[in-house]
């Protein structure tokens, strides 16, 4: 066999090996697809099933946390992140003016944890929700915001949050079980999904009777509450 024939033989062998490799890859790809598609389908179905309903800022969810009398005509819906410094400022602002508006308005808190910038926000939201299962949501809400400087930069926050639970005399075993509860986690996810649908992208965001508040200041909020209350009263008078 001369040199040229040898080269042809080598090329033919390489081409044959390449074709065999290609066929093996095709078979492997088909098998992987047959395995991956059912797994993907199961995952998609699980995600869809685990997602609860979302509510707009003009609606009240059955599991919303409401501060004040829900029968008052003005609804204040706040989307916030417990680790967000601006949200802590909003919390302090509402604390200063609440006594002046609580006869006209009620407030609903909804979670919007910005975990990309606030790594403890998700955990804080779960602790608040778990405390809510023992009728202590607002107390834990206040603890988290009041002590935000103490825990915000800790490497881990569970022991700190556990101390708040002990101060509130919560059943800590029940609390830890509720932290893993799918309904608790689902509440936080659904709040955020509802916020996304309402155009929330940062925190804090406030809606008064469905209208987004452009500037969060004490005077601005009180003026808008007064306006919304007057509108609701006028509508009530006209319907009589």
**Residues 32, 82 within the same domain:** no
Report the SS3 class of residue 155: coil
Angle of CA points 56, 84, 165, to nearest 5°: 90
112 and 13 within one domain: no
pLDDT of residue 202: 97
* Domain end among 50, 76, 91: 50
% of the chain beyond a pLDDT of 90? 75
Q: Which residues pair with 207 in a beta bridge?
A: 77, 212
Is residue 148 located within the same domain as residue 229? yes
Q: Domain range holding 144?
A: 65-239
Model pLDDT, residue 4: 62
Dihedral through CA 213, CA 218, CA 221, CA 224, nearest 10? Answer: -120
Determine the 3-state secondary structure of 228 from DSSP: helix
| Inside any domain, residue 22 | yes
Q: What share of the chain is helix, strand, coil (3-state, %, to 5)?
A: 60, 10, 30
In a domain, 177, yes or no: yes
**44 and 83 inside one domain:** no
pLDDT of residue 25: 72
Whether the pLDDT of residue 49 is over 90: the answer is no
Query: If you average pLDDT over every residue of the chain, what do you get?
Result: 89
Q: Is the model's pLDDT at 96 over the cut of 80?
A: yes
pLDDT at 149 over 50: yes
Q: Which residue has the higher pLDDT, 3 or 101?
A: 101
pLDDT at residue 41 tops 50: no
User: Which H helix or E strand runs over 104?
Assistant: none
Give me the number of domains the chain comprises: 2
Residue 154 lies in a domain: yes
Give the range among 27-31, 87-91, 121-125, 156-160 with minimum mean pLDDT.
27-31
Q: How confident is the model at residue 131 (pLDDT cuts 50, 70, 90)?
A: very high
| Residue 8 confidence (pLDDT) | 64
In a domain, residue 57? The reply is no
Structure confidence at residue 32 (pLDDT): 58
CA distance linking residue 80 with residue 110, whole number of Å: 7
pTM, entire model: 0.79
Q: Are residues 29 and 135 in the same domain?
A: no
For residue 60, being part of any structural domain is answered with no
Number of helices (H), then strands (E), belonging to the chain: the values are: 9, 5
Domain of residue 166, CATH code: 3.40.30.10
Are residues 102 and 38 both part of a single domain? no
Q: For the residues 77-81, what does the mean pLDDT come to? A: 98
């Amino acid at each position: 066999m001369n040199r040229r024939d040898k080269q042809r033989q080598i090329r033919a062998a390489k081409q044959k090996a390449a074709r065999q490799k290609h066929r093996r890859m095709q078979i492997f790809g088909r098998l992987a697809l047959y395995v991956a598609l059912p797994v993907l389908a199961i995952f998609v179905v699980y995600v869809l099933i685990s997602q609860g309903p979302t509510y707009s800022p003009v609606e009240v969810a059955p599991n919303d946390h409401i501060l004040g009398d829900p029968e008052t005509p003005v609804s204040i819906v706040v989307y916030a992140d417990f680790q967000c410094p601006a949200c802590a400022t909003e919390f302090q602002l509402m604390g200063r003016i609440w006594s002046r508006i609580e006869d006209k308005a009620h407030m609903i808190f909804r979670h919007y944890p910005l975990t990309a910038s606030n790594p403890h926000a998700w955990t804080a939201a779960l602790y608040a929700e778990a405390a809510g299962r023992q009728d202590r949501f607002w107390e834990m809400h206040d603890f988290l915001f009041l002590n935000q400087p103490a825990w915000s930069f800790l490497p881990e926050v569970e022991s700190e949050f556990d101390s708040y639970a002990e101060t509130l005399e919560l059943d800590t075993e029940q609390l830890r079980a509720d932290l893993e509860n799918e309904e608790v986690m689902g509440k936080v996810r659904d709040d955020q999904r509802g916020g996304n649908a309402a155009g929330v992208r940062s925190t804090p965001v406030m809606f008064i009777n469905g209208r987004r508040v452009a500037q969060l200041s004490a005077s601005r909020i009180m003026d808008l509450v007064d306006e919304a209350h007057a509108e609701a009263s006028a509508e009530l008078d006209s319907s009589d």
